[in-house]
Amino acid sequence: MSDTAIAAALAAIRARIAEACARANRPAGSVTLVAVSKTHPQQAVLDALAAGQQVFGENRVQEAAEKFPPLRAAHPTMRLHIIGGLQTNKARDAVRVADVIETIDRPKLAAAIAEAMAKEGRRPDCLVQVNTGEEPQKSGVARADADAFIRAAREEHGLPVTGLMCIPPVDEDPRPHFAYLANLAAKHGLREVSMGMSADFEAAIAEGATLVRVGSAIFGARPPAPG
């Protein structure tokens, strides 16, 4: 997409976020837009930055590490979220490059992130990913284990857990999943609730999202994988 198309798309998404907040009697500033730039080139991120976007999301740590460090010198206020499933051997790279890691979902990863934080001297915010639909193919801690894992991530591993994240099943009404996650975050006194994507972020805002992850509605379809 061109720079003008990205700017126009961002303006349209921001307007929809503001309208969704108004319908839910929430202030517009209570929801942060995470522009998901995975697989899109660095130029697309530059175009979004030029249009005032400051917060970005990437799935793969390696891609994020290649794309974002060169941008930080010129854009020191930008923030990068890692939103994809994370292998423990990528923990140190994630801590090095990210401002927020949204996909903490198992004890081994929590331990690896804590160790990486100690070595790197950086403490990015952490979100616990909950598999609200109990889908075996998806990352995320099971509902039954969520309370104990949130406590362990904070108290045993000492992670700076600031919120929760989920990706509801694509073939179900997302609202019950969003409501569950928001209630769970409130129960644990967590301020961030990352839920809602291009197709359903307005419903997520109605249920209490503070972070919405929007990619295709801003940057267009993902480029085809090289092959």
Q: What is the mean pLDDT of each run of 10 residues along the chain (227 residues)?
A: 91 97 94 96 95 97 94 93 97 98 98 98 98 95 98 98 97 97 98 97 98 95 61
Question: Which phi and psi angles does 222 have, rounded to 5°?
Answer: -65, 140
Q: What is the pLDDT of residue 227?
A: 44
Q: For residue 220, which of 21, 48, 25, 32 has the smallest C-alpha distance?
A: 48
Rounded Cα distance between 194 and 201, Å, is 10
**Are residues 164 and 190 in contact, defined by beta-carbon separation less than 8 angstroms?**
yes
Beta bridge partners of 101: 82, 126
**pLDDT at res. 223:** 65
Reported as half-sphere exposure (CB side, CA atoms, 13 A), residue 171 has a value of: 1
Q: How many CB atoms lie within 10 A of CB 34?
A: 26
Token digits for 196?
């809602």
Cβ(202)–Cβ(16) below 8 Å? yes
The C-alpha angle with vertex 220 and arms to 34 and 63, in degrees rounded to 5, equals 60
Q: Which residues pair with 55 in a beta bridge?
A: 79
For residues 76 and 91, give the distance between their C-alpha atoms in angstroms, rounded to a whole number. Answer: 23
Q: What is the set of domains in the chain, with CATH numbers?
A: 3-219 (3.20.20.10)
The answer to whether 45 and 56 are in contact (CB under 8 A) is yes
